[in-house]
Amino acid sequence: MNTTQIQQAVAQLLPAWRDHARIDALEATCKPQTRSEGYALQRALFDACGETPLGWKIAATSQAGQNHIGVSGPLAGRLMQSRCLLETQVVSLDRNTMAVAEAEFAFRLGRDVTRSTKGPLTMREVMDCVHALHVAIEIPNSRFIDFARAGEAQLIADFACACFVVLGREVTEDWRAVDLAHHQVSVLQNGSKTANGVGSNVLGDPRIALTWLANELLDQGMQLQAGELVMTGTCVVPVPVKPGDHVIADFGAFGQVQTRFV
């Protein structure tokens, strides 16, 4: 994509992002065709937003999730500080076409993630850059009306269906000694348990997902940076939500995070 095409695409996506609006698709003259073009457009959209970055999210970290939105693998998307909410705040579902809640492990980076040698980074190298673990809920959304048919290049350009994050407590327990792949997670909706999951639902392990993201960004000329938060993907089947719902994501010994929807 040339500069003119990228500017045309940003002009279509930016109002939809700011206003929680929806579009059918990007015009054919400026529609990204590859993952790399999608990331180039995502960078331009992020710059145009002029918002404070929060970090990154990983979408489609399970085969079911990939099938649901019609993509070949995981997708990386930007997160904005303005859409990171506390548990005391409510989450608006206005114009949210997905309307689901996802229970996720979130890593906070303590230093930049860089490559010192050729080849992909190992999980150990990436985890050495992690400062903290949080429990969190993601409420995704797409700016495309038919997001299941938008294709991965457009979905990447659109921040990989990023929207709201409810950030819970920092885990103070010795989480590094825990096998996160086998860690149980559940979701209670209005007092009833509606979903059960496990860390291995996230690309086999949330730490593997983080490693995938670190390498994906480096391959695209970007990198994870100190202070950034990474939402690693949902441990449970996404829970459909509606206004008035109260949702609790329970991470067992790691604690809970909750939110209400309006």
**pLDDT value of position 230:** 98
Q: Encode pLDDT of 87-118 as tens digits.
A: 999 999 999 999 999 999 999 999 999 998 78
Average pLDDT, the chain: 97
**Does the domain formed by 53-261 have CATH 3.90.850.10?**
yes
> Burial of 204 by CB count in 10 Å (0-12 exposed, 13-18 middle, 19+ buried)?
middle
Report the SS3 class of residue 198: strand
Q: What are phi and psi of 181, to 5 degrees?
A: -65, -30
Residues 6+ apart with CB under 8 A from 120: 215
C-alpha span between 6 and 21 (Å, rounded) = 20
C-alpha span between 82 and 95 (Å, rounded) = 17
Residue 148 is given by DSSP the state: G
| pLDDT tier at 30, thresholds 50, 70, 90 | very high
Q: Encode pLDDT of 189-241 as tens digits.
A: 999 999 999 999 999 999 999 999 999 999 999 999 999 999 999 999 999 99
Residue 23 is given by DSSP the state: B
Q: How far is CA 100 from the centre of its chain?
A: 13
